[in-house]
Amino acid sequence: MNMRLRMPVIFLAAALLFSCGGKENETPVPESEAPTTMTVSPTSYEAPVEGGGFTVSVTAPARPTAVASQNWVTVTDGTYSKYKIDYPVKVASNDTYEARTAVVTIKSGSLSQEVSISQPGKEKPVEPETPTEPEKGDNDAWKMAEKLGLGLNIGNQMDAFDGNSEKAIEGYWTNGQKLSKSVFTSLKSKGFKSVRIPITWLGHIGAAPDYKIDDRLDRVAELVDWAEQAGLNTIINIHHDGSLDYKNGSYTTHWLNIRGAAADAAVNTQIKAEIKAVWTQIAERFKDKGDFLIFESFNEIQDGHWGWGEDYKSTAGKKKQNDILNEWNQTFVDAVRATGGNNAQRWLGVPGYAADPSFTLNDGFALPDDPAKRVMVSFHNYTPYAFCQTGEASDWGHTRRSNLSDSNYSEDFHKEICYKFYKAYVEKGVPVYMGEYGCTNRTDATARKFQLYWLEYVSKCAKTFGISGFIWENGAVGANGETYGIINHETGEYLDPVYSKQIVESCSDGFYKEGISYTLESVYNKAPKY
């Protein structure tokens, strides 16, 4: 045999002999050493209130057990291998308001260890404050409420517009009626302290960049003069310029387009430029007028869905639109103050989103910064809708029929709203006014009694909490379907010498009637019955 072939065989044999030699009596080493103690991880767990889960990892010399002390904790058995085992633990949601604790006890022979579990209870709902009726104060808010008292909106007049031409036309919705000086003197004689003149400027504003207002401003100035001569506090505003108009089978948005501004920053910038220009012109025209005149930035700015559309439902959408409205209100204040004269100290009114009380009271609405500290808050009140606006519901309040169970049909709803405005603003010296409130007219005698009761109670409620109010009046005759007519817009006389007078007197009682026996409770106790 060739020697080069034999050498590897010899070396292999030697290697085998060396590897085995002297090791025959040694004990094989196990894959893992058996522990003498037990380890548990984690030893504590803080569960969220909605429930949760975690895993307990155990190393033990013998197969352990795991038992939960409470039935809201579930422990699932695991596989014990190489002295280790994992126990999935599930904690149920805590549907109580109380915090709770539990333990999972791990045992392996004589060894034992506990895993502690804690879980908070649900957050207790904040109990609504009981609306306590405050004593009349003497800050700016109470003084302004006293000054404005009961006012009236001359609606559907200067705010009316032709949807086809998209131009505001005085009296377009009231058979061409034109306001006369006698309207204002008549309002004063009927006990009104104030008047709100809603004004739409569509079709009367020129092109960018000047956005010059045409002779409509002259007509508005004439009305303001008549109101001043009659001794009426007066509010003028920008009204339907933020509305949607149905035209040619679809809705078109007027220039105060908050939906467009929310979608495009450039659109928002353009709108703010127009707001500044328009309010600068209005303010310049009236800069020498006294404190009887108040400017109100807008009416019911919203995206066409009154706060119930998809754009406003989302948290981000709501914040975006509220932020834009806050910007617009700030632009308004800055424009007016910059004109100087009496405008440097003039009282200014601003609404929240859609002028809705709940939206105005939420965290999204913010008062504009004002060096004069003379900004008022406006909200509108037509609640409940089916009773106040459409007339589908014929009764309201604690004496209503039992099938009307919605909380909006209770007196407490209005009391709580007024109380919240009192706590948020009036108590802090910020005036609040119901820029619009009303209940559509009726023909049925009993339904009229409930209408008059609503008007008196809401008026008295506002007065109690330091809030003034402006009845919505639109010259519309008939019943139901937003017919709020009270006066003739050319003469100022009552449309119905009995019924219209009753409407005004119900509101007047709420604001002006005095005496220790005339309280919110006394009004409540005389509610009509079906």
Q: How far apart are CA 6 and CA 1, in angstroms?
A: 7
Helices 445-464 and 411-424, packing angle to 10 deg: 20
In this structure, what DSSP letter does residue 133 have? P
Instruction: Please tell me the distance from the alpha carbon of residue 274 to that of residue 284, in angstroms, as a whole number.
Output: 15
Q: Residue type for 104, please?
A: V
Terminal Cα distance for the chain, rounded: 129
Among 361, 236, 360, 366, CA closest to 301: 360
Q: Report the length, in residues, of the chain.
A: 530
Q: Cβ distance 352 to 394 under 8 Å?
A: no
Residue from 296, 327, 436, 456 carrying the catalytic annotation: 436
The yes-or-no answer on residue 33 being catalytic is: no
Tokens (6 digits) for 478:
């008939």
* Residue 511 identity (one-letter amino acid): F
Host H or E run for residue 119: strand 111-119
Structure tokens at 522: 């006394």
Out of 296, 300, 327, 456, which one is annotated catalytic?
A: 300
Residue 163 vs residues 13, 47, 168, 173, 388: alpha-carbon distances, Å: 109, 60, 9, 11, 26
Question: Comparing C-alpha atoms, which of 296, 290, 282, 242 is closest to residue 436?
Answer: 296
Q: Token match 């800069």: residue?
A: 287
List the one residue out of 421, 342, 324, 349 whose CA is nearest residue 381. 421
Cis peptide before 371 (omega within 30 of 0): no
Instruction: Give the Cα separation of 220 and 420 in Å (integer).
Output: 35
Interhelix angle for 181-189 vs 216-230, to 10°? 30
Cβ-based neighbours of 216, under 8 Å, separated by 6 or more: 168, 201, 204
The strand pairing partners of 58, in sequence order, are: 40, 85
**SS3 call for 497:** coil
Residue 308, helix vs strand vs coil: coil
What's the gap between Cα 343 and its chain centre? 30
Rounded distance between C-alpha atoms, residue 354 and residue 411, angstroms: 23
Crossing angle between the packed helical segments 216-230 and 265-285, to the nearest 10 degrees: 50
Please indicate whether residue 392 is annotated as part of the active site: no
> Which parts of 254-347 are beta strand (E)?
293-296
Dihedral (CA of 399, 403, 404, 407) sign: positive
Q: Which residues are catalytic?
A: 300, 436
